[in-house]
């Protein structure tokens, strides 16, 4: 009886690196850091970040960056955001929301819809907004909320933000349901507080839900429980938006061979030589100057994001190894 030689063991293949954006529907009561920590634990991935925090009492879209996607935060932190929520008229709080302490005794206040709509319109466009005392802004190196908790005076400088739309959806008694779209860095709590002051009626933000951040909308957001279940079944990758789908408004440029190596080494290049249909750029690429380009290799995998530095010259700001 002959014995067949044992088959050589096949080398184990490393699991593909998880990279992209995971949209979590953040529940009330958790901080954004809590959610990041939970996803790190569930996915067993250290490199997890976010594209803009949500206050603990708020719910909704929290885009989490996984793996190499953490390097894309620079392109999203100031991006357009959308919210819906409720403002309660009658009393203000020290935090400008429902989690705070009343700033004074409640007063009877029943504004009319026309008044509220007029005030909302005054807060639309580019405005100067003073952040709330309980915020992460720094005052001489100290977080404002730390000073506020110690009952120390917090003096924050107004900053320019942009409110694209601020609409009254309904008004019942002292509660106004609203929808707002604004630039990154806008405090919706301050909008509620300031609107009340403008109306001569103290107010605070009673509830808040974020419905979109840039291209990330709530329709694709999943709960932590859903994500954990998918991870246990080995299906977590299906919930992750791939790197190639990020920055959808940026044209894509395809490079090969020597050009690909130059980009990977961070060398600048001139766009004028690449204005051909087979390079991925559409017919409008020769129009207004393109600020950012997604650079793809021949397999249409994202290898870099390049920024225009002068004329038609671009430099790879972010290079993916």
What's residue 59's pLDDT?
Answer: 98
48-54: Cβ within 8 A, 24+ apart: 49/73, 51/21, 51/76, 51/77, 51/79, 51/213, 51/214, 51/216, 52/76, 52/77, 52/79, 52/81, 52/184, 52/213, 53/136, 54/26, 54/210
What's residue 17's pLDDT?
Answer: 80
What's residue 88's pLDDT?
Answer: 97
Fold classification of 81-213 is Pseudouridine synthase (3.30.2350)
How far apart, in whole angstroms, are the C-alpha atoms of residue 89 and residue 87?
6
Catalytic residue selected from 55, 97, 284, 317: 55
pLDDT digits (tens, 9 = 90+) for 1-10: 333 344 344 3
Fold classification of 250-319 is 2.30.130
The closest alpha carbon to 66, from 14, 18, 26, 16, belongs to 18
Class level of CATH domain 20-76+216-243: alpha beta
Domains 20-76+216-243 and 250-319 share a fold: no
22's enclosing H/E stretch is strand 20-26
How far apart, in whole angstroms, are the C-alpha atoms of residue 56 and residue 145?
14
Angle between helices 224-232 and 32-43 (to 10 degrees): 10
178-182: Cβ within 8 A, 24+ apart: 178/84, 178/85, 178/86, 178/87, 178/120, 179/82, 179/83, 179/84, 180/82, 180/83, 180/84, 180/85, 181/80, 181/81, 181/82, 181/83, 182/80, 182/81, 182/83
What's residue 152's pLDDT?
Answer: 65
* Segments of the chain scoring below 70 in pLDDT: 1-16, 139-140, 142, 144-145, 147-148, 152, 272-289
SS3 277: helix
How far apart, in whole angstroms, are the C-alpha atoms of residue 244 and residue 295?
10
* Total residue count of the chain as it appears in this document: 321
What's residue 144's pLDDT?
Answer: 67
Each domain of the chain, given as residue ranges in start order, spans: 20-76+216-243, 81-213, 250-319
What's residue 290's pLDDT?
Answer: 82
What's residue 3's pLDDT?
Answer: 39
Residue 55 annotated among the catalytic residues of the structure = yes
């Amino acid at each position: 009886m002959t014995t067949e030689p044992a088959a050589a063991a096949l080398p184990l293949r490393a699991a593909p690196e998880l990279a992209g954006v995971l949209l979590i529907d953040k529940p009330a009561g958790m901080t954004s850091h809590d959610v990041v920590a939970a996803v790190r634990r569930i996915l067993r991935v250290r490199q997890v970040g976010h594209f803009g925090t949500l206050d603990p009492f708020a719910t909704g879209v929290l885009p989490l960056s996984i793996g190499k996607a953490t390097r894309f935060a620079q392109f999203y932190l100031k991006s357009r955001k959308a919210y819906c929520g409720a403002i309660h008229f009658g009393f203000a709080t020290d935090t400008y929301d429902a989690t705070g302490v009343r700033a004074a005794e409640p007063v009877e206040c029943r504004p009319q819809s026309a008044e509220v709509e007029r005030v909302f319109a005054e807060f639309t466009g580019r405005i100067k907004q003073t952040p709330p005392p309980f915020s992460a802004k720094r005052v001489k190196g100290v977080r404002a909320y730390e000073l506020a908790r110690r009952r120390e005076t917090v003096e924050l400088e107004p900053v320019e933000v942009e409110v694209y739309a601020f609409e009254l959806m309904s008004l019942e008694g002292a509660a106004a349901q609203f929808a707002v779209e604004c630039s990154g860095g806008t405090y919706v709590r301050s909008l509620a507080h300031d609107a009340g002051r403008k109306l001569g009626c103290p107010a605070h933000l009673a509830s808040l839900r974020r419905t979109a951040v840039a291209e990330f909308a709530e329709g694709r957001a999943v709960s932590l429980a859903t994500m954990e279940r998918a991870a246990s079944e080995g299906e977590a990758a299906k919930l992750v938006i791939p790197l190639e789908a990020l920055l959808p408004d940026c044209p894509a440029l395809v490079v090969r061979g020597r050009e690909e190596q130059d980009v990977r080494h961070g060398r600048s290049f001139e766009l004028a030589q690449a204005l051909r249909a087979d390079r991925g750029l559409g017919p409008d690429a020769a129009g207004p100057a393109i600020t950012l380009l997604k650079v793809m290799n021949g397999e249409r995998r994202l290898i870099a994001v390049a920024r225009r530095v002068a004329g038609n010259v671009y430099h790879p700001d972010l290079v993916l190894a």
